[in-house]
Structure 1
């Protein structure tokens, strides 16, 4: 790994869509923390129409009523956007599909209006995560060149502060430099004062670029921060890789422990080859090894279902989006709540019978930290739901009209 002397233009982000913003004067629900600031919720919506950009809608109360993209919100430049909120700013990443994209930063005015703060060109990246007061963005090669570029951006100033490179073949242990096989980072997570980056091993050659010869192992690269020097790679053979392409699978809790979620979805020529269960593994605070005494077999507890994506609620409780066809990577989806401390699993109740998709990768928690707030899209309409982390009960809130919900975030003003 080496430091790059000339900092290239950075980022962009991938698939899905989001955009447009409506201002609401409704006051948020009661604040239990004693904080006198107010909250505005940002709801991103895609119409799915060719050539139509995504929208950013805003509301002060998402527990009731409805909101629409018709005549409301901020229309973004371009579709295929991903989102991140950190340092009380909302970042929108345009995926350039191989071309340069853009990073747009939004904030709230004193009146609670969403306003654009900055916008700059960037290279396409597949990973972006908050680290301290930065955003770490990673361009991950899937074929051809094997160098992954890691960009540090000051989240308060929206400026690039450093770039580091990593040859992804070295994480595989390739002795043959011509071998196309490489590591592909699924995400990055700050754990203590380090950055943990889970990855999958992929073939790197079409037509089976994301196919893997290593279906039943987990790897995490550990980097120092802010210099981003590779310190070690940790491995586990009880399940497959953590997360998925463009999907976070590693989270740190309030105690400082880290929990990794594996869907056991590795494939070869589009056939699932993982033989290990979809499960949760643990890295104890202050260590850089997997805790061999901990293993939460979610596939067994769920009756054969697999984890698709995960978001953290609090106090060891996670919201899971599960594949609806047991033992496969496809089918209808269901939501569940898992408690990693007690290794308990329960299906979410009170949801529509059929879900098209849900925003489990772009959620927020309630002010008391006990519930997840997410967007739920169904054939009959799209709503914001609140899911209690203790009971697993879902409560329907605001209806969103004019497109599918792709993310929900919040800012203070």
Structure 2
């Protein structure tokens, strides 16, 4: 097994390449001083200390397009390693490595950010998805366990209400499956994964896509569906292997990018589809991403609506990528229905952070933070009507781990 030190090097956004940012800490128990209604944007800022350990500050802001975004003296403070996601009006921080907890962050009656609940898990959650307005589903999938653990979580109290365990051997008898994505459609839950050696992270099995199918809500194992038109679904820590549209159709992203953890590539990258109500790959649909992009692959994908998704596309072919680099990237809009890729004007080529894509979709705009080659981070506002971007505030942090609006 990798040492904790090595695991941190892989899990923290490219992590160790980012320089520490000079920073004045805030009191972790204090409330942010300004009501959220006056500051509708909420940004989770990651700041590295002199020891290389990150602290995350979730902070409300009135404006993200001018000045500097800093967490000095405010925000919800969480030292360790966290990822962030939002469902309805609550932000959820998901702890990893030494932190195995999930905490909700929402607007209190006084208009200020407050913590909700605090539930811990033996191995930490691989991911957390929304079932409905009151229910979340968490997944534990760890190299230290021979069980796949599904946790039903009360979204309001952030407490576990039920746990179901299923053997990993249902999915594979090869090494440990690495998590790539999870979605519920109709009465099925789809779990995408790839096979990664837990000691070296090498990926010796890249000849086909695989998705495990379970019943929902019973969470009984049904089968594994496979497709040899492309390789494994998802990549290391991207969490975007599966996305779902308004019709309930599931789209599965494959790229086998060395920049996202793969040690080899044996199939061209592409996108598969599972139609709503079905539990098999649609043989009439294949989005050949490499053909459209000239040999490039999508590393990160975030669904926006009406068949469109925000994408981060690696500008280097797989044979030229530096392993674990998560870059260099260009931002684009992908049309899943028409199988097109449109690059965004105004955003420079940039590195990724080796983790879940952090971007806010708000009406006709997307807000995201981009790191420049000099390691400075800036907010960019993408206009989805004309596929252009405007540079906004500078971000006084190593990277942005979450971008939200309450």
Scaled by the length of structure 1, the TM-score of the pair is 0.81
- Of 205, 209, 234, which aligns to 1:214? 205
Q: 1:190 to 1:23 in 2, by over 3 A?
A: farther
Map 1:136-155; keep pairs closer than 5 Å: 136-142=137-143, 145-155=145-155
1:183-239 CA-to-partner distances (Å, cap 9, x unmatched) read: 3332211223432111113344x2x3x333420211111222222111222111111
Matching residue of 1:223: 214
For 1:129, what is the secondary structure of its paired residue? Answer: strand
Query: Which whole-Å deviations, capped at 9, do the CAs of 1:114-137 have from their partners, x for residues lacking one?
Result: 111222333322222222232222
**2:100, 2:125 within 8 Å by CA — same for their partners in 1?**
no
Question: Partner of 1:287: helix, strand, or coil?
Answer: coil
Residue 284 (structure 1) aligns with = 275
The answer to whether the aligner puts 1:275 opposite 2:275 as a matched pair is: no
Matched, 1:157 2:157: yes
Q: Does 1:372 align with 2:366?
A: yes
Structure 1 equivalent of residue 329 of structure 2? 333
- SS in structure 1 opposite 2:169? coil
Asked if 1:310 is matched to 2:312, the reply is no
Q: Once superposed, what is the RMSD of the aligned Cα atoms?
A: 2.8
1:36-55 equivalences in 2 (<5 Å): 40-49=40-49, 50=51, 51=53, 53-55=55-57
1:263 to 255, 266, 271: 255
Distance 2:156 2:54 in 1: 30
Q: Check the 8 A contact 2:118/2:159 in 1, yes or no.
A: no
Residue 249 (structure 1) aligned with residue 241 (structure 2): yes
Consecutive unaligned residues of structure 2, counting only runs of 5 or more, are 1-10, 16-24
Moved more, 310-319 or 125-134: 125-134
User: What's the counterpart of residue 5 of structure 2?
Assistant: none
| More displaced stretch, 270-279 vs 355-364 | 355-364
Aligned equivalents of 2:317 and 2:167: distance in 1?
37
Deviations 1:4-46 (A, max 9, x none): xxxxxxxxxx7459x9885656978xxxxxxxxxx72220111
Cα contact 2:257–2:318 (8 A) shared by 1? no
CA distance in structure 2 between the partners assigned to 1:26 and 1:56 by the alignment:
12
1:323 equivalenced with 2:314 (yes/no) = yes
1 CA distance for matches of 2:253 and 2:384? 18
Instruction: Name structure 1 gaps, 5 residues minimum.
Output: 1-13, 29-38, 175-179
Instruction: State the partner residue of 2:75.
Output: 73
Please give the alpha-carbon distance, in whole angstroms, between the structure 2 residues aligned to 1:191 and 1:70: 42
Q: Is the alpha carbon distance of 1:168 and 1:360 closer, same or farther for their aligned partners in structure 2, counting shifts above 3 Å?
A: closer
Select the residue among 207, 226, 229 that pairs with 1:235: 226
Per-residue deviation at 1:342? 0.9
Quick one: distance in 2 between partners of 1:68 and 1:403? 11
From the superposition, tell whether residues 360 and 245 of structure 1 become closer, same or farther in structure 2 (CA, over 3 Å): closer
Specify the alignment match of 2:8 in structure 1: none
Q: Which residue of structure 2 aligns with residue 177 of structure 1? A: none
Q: Does 1:352 align with 2:348?
A: yes
1:189 counterpart = 2:191? no
How far apart in 2 are the matches of 1:383 and 1:365? 17
Pick which of 356-365 and 184-193 moved more: 356-365
Post-superposition shift, 1:283?
Answer: 1.2
Tell me the equivalent position of 1:118.
Answer: 117
| Partner-residue secondary structure (3-state), 1:64 | coil
How far, CA to CA, are the matches of 2:107 and 2:36 in structure 1? Answer: 15
Q: Indicate the structure with greater helix content.
A: 2
Residues 276, 359 of structure 1: alpha-carbon distance in 2 compared, 3 angstrom cutoff: closer
Q: Secondary structure of the residue that 1:299 maps to in structure 2?
A: helix
Indicate which of 193, 196, 201 corresponds to 2:195.
201
- Secondary structure in 1 matching 2:291: helix
Find the residue that maps to 2:40 and give its secondary structure. strand
Partner of 2:60: 58
Number of equivalent positions: 370
**Equivalent residue number for residue 129 of structure 1:** 129
